[in-house]
Amino acid sequence: MDTDLIGLFDRATVWTASKIAAADKVREAPTPCDEWNVGQLLDHLLDGQSLFVAGASGAVVGPPTGDPPHLVGPDPSAQYEAARQETIAAYSRPGVLAGNVSSPFGPMPAAQFLGIAICDHLLHGWDLARGTNQDATMPADLAAVAWQMLGGRIADATRGPGKSFKAAVLVPEDASFQDKLLGYSGRQP
């Protein structure tokens, strides 16, 4: 299971990485994340990687709040690749995925925290793709896994203006896993 989660994270972030070069050319473009343009979304992706690494290293981590710090430099593709590799290395250390991550709300299984990272990067990869007119079709198996990890787990208290998620968007029962994931996370598929 540990290797599978790391492999899933690797594949999800490779897909997101494939959207960054084109996104870098239009940093001021809007994204489906209403409060963030493309450059701010890239900042969030980089900041999130450091959060996931910190969790694997024993730091107490909570969800990010407010605007992300400005982190994107002249080569965001290289920055994202370095951050991706650092996250993979952090969770590949013996025993990390079998342990817990400390949060202000109590311990969380590290494997669950890495699952959040998988969902976060797939969803924000989609946001980048949509905001920059790229193909936003996630690999179907990754969308299915992310849906299984996230579906039914977003607390109502985290939805609404200024919160982590918008209200869920209803999708047909027979929608694809990608559309279910997007709708549930408050995105219009």
Cβ 17 vs Cβ 81: under 8 Å = yes
Q: How far is CA 23 from the centre of its chain?
A: 16
Query: Which residue from 6, 74, 96, 83 is spatially nearest to 47, judged by alpha carbons?
Result: 83
pTM for this structure?
0.91
Indicate the fold that domain 2-137 takes in CATH.
Four Helix Bundle (Hemerythrin (Met), subunit A) (1.20.120)
Return the biggest CA–CA distance within the chain.
43
Helix (H, G, I), strand (E, B) or coil at 151: coil
The tokens describing 173, both together, are 């029962």
Which helix (H) or strand (E) segment is 1 a member of? none
Residue 107: phi and psi, rounded to 5, are -70, 145
Per-residue pLDDT 10s for the chain (189 aa) are: 344 999 999 999 999 999 999 998 999 999 998 889 999 999 999 999 999 999 999 898 887 777 899 999 999 999 999 999 999 999 999 999 999 999 877 898 999 999 989 999 999 999 999 999 999 999 999 999 999 988 766 676 665 666 666 667 788 999 999 999 898 788 889
Three-state secondary-structure class, residue 108: strand
Tokens of 13: 């972030």
